[in-house]
Amino acid sequence: MANKAIKYRVYPTTEQSIMFAKTFGCCRKVYNLMLSDKIEGYKATGKFPTVTPAKYKDKYPYLREVDSLALANKQIDLQEAFRNTLSKSRKKNNGFPKYKSAKHSRKSYTTNNQKGTVAIIDNKYIKLPKIGNVKAVIHRIPDSDWIIKSATVSQESDGKYYISVLFEFDTVTSHYIADKTNAIGLDYASDGLYVDNNGNIGTNHKYYRESHNKLAKEQRKLSRMQDSKKGEEKSNNYIKQLLKVNKIHRHIANQRLDNLHKISTEIANQYDVVCVESLNMRAMSNRGFGNGKTTLDNGYGMFLSMLEYKLSDRNKYLVKVDKWFPSSQICHCCGTLHPEMKDLAIRTMKCNCGLTISRDQNAAINILNEGLRLLTEVA
């Protein structure tokens, strides 16, 4: 068995963030009470007594309002701190356990999964005991056979919330030996997502065109409201419209993310080697790159990083071909260089060898061949 923690950004409701704050506070309170009782016990008997959070629940009934496993984990933390005090390793030994101050201690707590009390719901929420479903950006979907062990909620100093989910999984699956002939090449397409070496088009457009139209409509409405409200205080209607527009934005982002996950999972399941162009996304977005690949809007960078970890999880390969490799200028059949293909308006390559092929498919074939060459070079 192996473990892996994935940290997700979460967006709790006001009510949920109040519960988080309460739980952080109760954890700190219980930790300090237990530490104090241990010290007092030692003074009285010469031994550190065993202390449990349950002991304090009558005196501080509000402790019952929060996740009891979060408090139980504080007991384990304290035991660990005591054990480390005795440890000879300098790295572990931070000296005698200290009280946690409200100001300086880390705002976090850990809870355990007990038969589904912690779960990822619809790839949109993380379910927690006493909290319910917390809205989350599931940038990374665990494999179906991964089991959730625990979740650590934290609030960083900038106020952002995260949940780090600890998974357990069988390592047997990672002994898979990739078949290097089961390969695909992908050419980036700014107007879709990619074109593969078989000429298939991967796209994420169709899924949210409707939402885009809706967004455009609501945005026009918003800007009309803005124009008519020059200098004036923003009306309730304006705020309402702004929230509406933001909601559509979020919906589109989620749709796109879902679709990128779907496509990248399909590819990672089907192929053992995926060859792509390494694109310098920042240079493209800042300076236009001069090759028409100026749009980042279709999430290609995110798509590549999903492919990268999904393939690596399966013991498969993502091979990045240098971005200067002239994939769209070489005839994949005879190797002739066609500098005229630098002109993006030319969508079809016609070569003297008799080949006529779409520019994107030809590029994808070249990326595939170059990727496989690189792969055997390394191996």
- The residues annotated as belonging to the active site are 187, 277, 360
379 exposure class (CB count in 10 Å sphere: 0-12, 13-18, 19+)? exposed
Which residue, among 154, 71, 67, 68, has the nearest Cα to 106 in the 3D structure?
154
**353 is a contact residue toward Zn ion (CB under 5 A):** yes
Residue 357 touches Zn ion, criterion: CB under 5 A: no
Return the range that interacts with Zn ion (CB under 5 A); candidates 266-274, 277-285, 301-309, 329-337: 329-337
Stretch that binds Zn ion, among 124-132, 146-154, 309-317, 344-352 (CB under 5 A): 344-352
Picking from 110, 73, 273, the residue whose alpha carbon sits closest to that of residue 186 is 273
Binding-site size, Zn ion (CB under 5 A): 7
Contact (Cβ atoms closer than 8 angstroms) between residue 276 and residue 307: yes
Region near Zn ion per CB under 5 A, out of 99-107, 170-178, 284-292, 327-335: 327-335
Q: Which of 253, 351, 374, 375 binds Zn ion (CB under 5 A)?
A: 351
Minimum distance from residue 293 beta carbon to Zn ion (Å):
24
**What character string, x for contact with Zn ion (CB under 5 A) and - otherwise, covers 51-90?**
----------------------------------------
Cα(138)–Cα(6) distance, rounded to whole angstroms?
A: 9
One residue of 18, 334, 344, 346 binding Zn ion per CB under 5 A: 334
Q: How far apart are CA 25 and CA 27, in angstroms?
A: 5
Q: In terms of CB distance, is 121 or 334 closer to Zn ion?
A: 334
Cβ atoms within 10 A of the Cβ of 227, count? 8
Considering only 333, 357, 374, 375, the residue that binds Zn ion (CB under 5 A) is 333
| Residue entry with tokens 């260089």 | 337
With beta carbons less than 8 A apart as the criterion, state whether 258 and 204 touch.
no
The residue among 21 and 353 lying less far from Zn ion, judged by its C-beta, is 353
331 lies in the binding site for Zn ion (CB under 5 A): yes
Token pair recorded at residue 298: 């279709």
CB 326 within 8 A of CB 370: no
Q: For binding to Zn ion (CB under 5 A), which residues are involved?
A: 331, 333-334, 336, 351, 353, 355
